[in-house]
Amino acid sequence: MAPQIYKGLKDVYLDTTTASFIDGQEGKLLYRGYNIHDLAEKSTFEEVVYLLLNGKLPTRRELSSFDATLRANRRIPDEVIQVLDLVKASHPMDALRTGISALSAFDPDVNDNSPEATLRKGIRLTAMGPTLVAAHHRLRQGLEPVAPNADLNHAGNFLYMLFGEMPDEETVKLLDVDFILHAEHGANASAFGARVTASTLSDLHSAVVTGVGVLKGPWHGGAAEEVMKMAEDIGQPENAEEYCRKILESGGRIMGFGHRVYKAEDPRARHLRERSKALGEKVGQPKWFQILTYVEENVMVPYRKKGIFVNVDFFAGSIYYLLGIPDDLFIPIFALGRIPGWTLQCLEQYKDNILIRPLLEYTGPMDLQYVPISQRR
C-alpha cells in the first residue's frame, strides 16, 4: 500500500515546545506564553531573549546581569574579521553563515552540547552576530570594522557598528522592536533545519549555520529583500496593479504574502505596518508605504479568501530601507533577531532528543540491470 505522504510536512506536529504558541487562524503569537503585541510594545529585545532562553521574565537585577553578559560578548576574534575580509564580496547572509562557522573555531564550548554550554554559546552567538554583519558590511565598503560600544543596547550597538556613528533613540527602538518580532517562531523552516542538525547531536554553531542557510531563501527570510525590490520596481502606487497582475498571472507569488501557518494576518505585521507608515512620513518618503498598502488593500484582497495575508516580511524591508540599510542586509537582520529562537529550539531538541529522519517514498525504476561502461550506448 502506498504510504501517506505529508508533502512539505504540512500540518505535521514534530514534537512539543514551550517556546512559542501560534494560532494561525486567529493570527495569535505568544513567546513563552506572552503575547507578541505586549512584548513588541512594552519589552526590549534583551528582555525577550532572557524570556526565551530562561522561560520567565527577568527581574530588574536578572536583566541587568544578562544584558551585561551580552554586552561583554560582542567582540569577535581578529581571525574571524580576517575571514570576513576574505569573503567580503559575498552576500551578507553568506558572510554571516561563514562568520558563524569561523566563530566555532574560537568557542571554548564548541563541542559541548550540555544545556549550560548550549545556553552560553547561544548568548555568545546572539551577542556576536551583529558584530559579524556590521564588520562584513564595513569591510566590503573598504572601511575598518567599528568595535562594539558597551554603552549601547543590542540594537543601538548594531547600528553604531554598521554606520560608524551614534544612532538616534527612535531608530534604535525601531530596530529593537524588529528584533523582538523576529526572535522565535516555532517549527519554521530554519528552526526545523536547526533542530535536524541538533538531532544528530551536532553542535549549536552547526545548527545556527543550518538556520542561516535555510532562512536565506525567498520563501522564508529572503522575502523582505524581495518585497523592497518589488516596491522599487513598481516605483509609483499607480503601477502596482499591473506589476502584480503580471506576476500573479504567470503563476508567480507576491513576496511578503502568505504563510504556512497564518491563515489570518500575521500578528507581527501590524507593528511593522504602523512603523513603516510613521517612518515614511517622518523622512518625507511616504511613497513606499503607499505602494505597499496599495498592493495589500487592492491587488491582494481576493487572496484573503485563500488565507493569504501580509506576513512579517512585507513591511520590514521598507523600514530598513528608510533607515538607510542596504537591501542585502535585510535577511541578516532577520537572522540576528532569530538566533535566540534557534538556540531555544536546539535546547529543546537536545533535552528530549530523537534523530529527525523522515522517509521518502521511492518512485524511480527498480532492479535495473547494471551494464558495464564499455557496453553502454
Residues at the interface with ligand CMC (CB under 6 A): 8, 188, 219-221, 223, 253-260, 306, 308, 311-313
Cβ of residue 327: shortest distance to ligand CMC, in angstroms? 15
Closest to ligand CMC by CB, 70 vs 312, is 312
Cβ of residue 115: shortest distance to ligand CMC, in angstroms? 27
Cβ of residue 333: shortest distance to ligand CMC, in angstroms? 12
Annotation says 367 is catalytic = no
Q: Rounded to a whole number, what is the largest CA-CA distance in the chain?
A: 77
What is the rounded CA–CA span in Å between residue 39 and residue 57? 11
Closest to ligand CMC by CB, 110 vs 308, is 308
CB atoms within 10 A of CB 268: 27
- Give Cβ neighbours of residue 315 (< 8 Å, ≥ 6 apart): 256, 269, 272, 273, 275, 276, 289, 292
What is the rounded CA–CA span in Å between residue 92 and residue 130? 11
Evaluate whether 215 touches 221 at the Cβ level (below 8 Å): yes
Question: Coil, strand or helix: which one is 31?
Answer: strand
Question: Coil, strand or helix: which one is 257?
Answer: strand
- Give Cβ neighbours of residue 237 (< 8 Å, ≥ 6 apart): 287, 290, 291, 294
Closest to ligand CMC by CB, 28 vs 75, is 28
Cβ of residue 220: shortest distance to ligand CMC, in angstroms? 4
Annotation says 137 is catalytic = no
Annotation says 220 is catalytic = yes
Closest to ligand CMC by CB, 26 vs 79, is 26
Catalytic residue, candidates 220, 233, 271, 327:
220
Catalytic residue, candidates 313, 327, 328, 352:
313
Residue of minimal Cβ distance to ligand CMC:
258
Closest to ligand CMC by CB, 163 vs 303, is 303
What is the rounded CA–CA span in Å between residue 173 and residue 191? 26
Question: Coil, strand or helix: which one is 17?
Answer: coil
So which residues are the catalytic ones? 220, 259, 313
